[in-house]
Amino acid sequence: MQDEPIKATHTEPPSSKDILIGFLTVGAAASIWGTLGFFAKILYAEGVSFEALVAVRALVGWAAMLLFLLLTGGVSSLRIARRDFLFLVPLGLVGVGAFYLLYFFTVRESTVGTAAILLYSSPAFVVVLAWIFLKESLGFLRILALGLTFGGIFLVVGGYDLSTLEVSPLVLATGLLSGLTYGLYSIFGKPVARRLEPAVILSYALGIGAVLLVLAALPTLYTLAGLSWGSYALLLMLAVVHTALAFGLYTAGLRRLDAGQAAIVASIEPVVAGAAGAALLGEDLTPPKLAGAVLVLAGAALAQVRLRKTSRGEEAA
């Protein structure tokens, strides 16, 4: 690891093509993540603990990223500046490690719909944190996009049925914290997204997060023994596809979108989850859920509108 001086850099605003690519890559990642709850429930039914599941997911995903770098000759790029390491450590511990534990605990202790409602408090956290720490714009369009997104999620997950919101204080806390830690992936990842390749960022984030997750999983690692070959294949898929590939796509999208935009675009995840439930579990796609899907997609589209990024110091000048 090398230490480099921090230089003032001026980057050109991303083009319309870059913004579209960012939207598509973040949307693809969110679509993959939309099936996580379904597959997690299958593994829970097999007796796998949530701690063991997320530890395998992070550890195998990290190995997959290292193999990718080895095959593409990018191992040398793992040598990074100290200033980048200061962002990658919290990215791994919070944006991967803490997030995995909090979200998959919430999924286990409640319904997938309830977990999605609580997780997608994330855009609100990100927009406010990005405004405070990254000096990103906070205007009418961003607020309107948030309103559309939250309104759509409320309908998609059936929030109008109060029984779906009857959770214990512990589940409420872990669900909201999963939204906060998920949002912090964007906040910690954004400063390094323009300097480092997505595979490098993800290698560090997953490796650091895996240390925390393996330690947390030590008492329940025995739940991984004696599973069917199908369950082991499912664990491998969750690690390679739902972790390495999806986080790589999301991190690549952060290079073209600001943190608030990326978080709101990723809100199509519950729409995909609803569609997967209808196709795989025979769940009904009711008119309110369809209306909610339209609202979420409208919010994601509105989030693509480029807002002028102005620091409060510049506004005062």
pLDDT, tens digit only, all 317 positions of the chain: 333 333 333 456 667 888 888 889 998 998 898 888 889 989 999 999 999 999 999 999 899 888 888 888 777 888 888 888 899 999 999 999 999 999 999 988 887 767 777 787 776 777 777 777 767 777 787 788 778 877 877 777 666 676 655 567 788 789 889 988 987 887 788 788 778 888 888 899 999 999 999 999 999 999 999 999 999 999 999 988 988 888 788 878 878 887 667 777 877 787 787 777 777 766 666 787 778 778 876 776 676 565 444 433 433 33
**What six digits make up the tokens of 253?**
């999208």
2 domain-assigned: no
Strand partners, 81: 2
Element (H, E) at 297: helix 287-302
Model's pTM, two decimal places? 0.75
Distance from C-alpha of 188 to C-alpha of 85, rounded to nearest angstrom: 11
Name residue 136's amino acid: E
Amino acid at 14: P
Determine, yes or no, domain membership for 130: yes
Torsion-angle region of residue 185: left (phi > 0), alpha (psi -120 to 50) or beta? alpha
Question: Could you tell me if 128 and 248 are in contact, meaning their C-beta atoms sit under 8 angstroms apart?
Answer: no
Does 7 map to a domain?
A: no
Tell me if 81 is assigned to some domain: yes
Residue with tokens 């701690």: 51
Is residue 10, in this structure, part of any structural domain at all? no
Q: Is residue 105 part of a domain?
A: yes
Q: How many domains does the chain have?
A: 1
**Four-point Cα dihedral 276, 282, 288, 289, nearest 10:** 0
In a domain, 9, yes or no: no
Neighbour count for residue 308 (Cβ, 10 Å): 8
174: containing domain: 16-308
Q: Is residue 3 part of a domain?
A: no
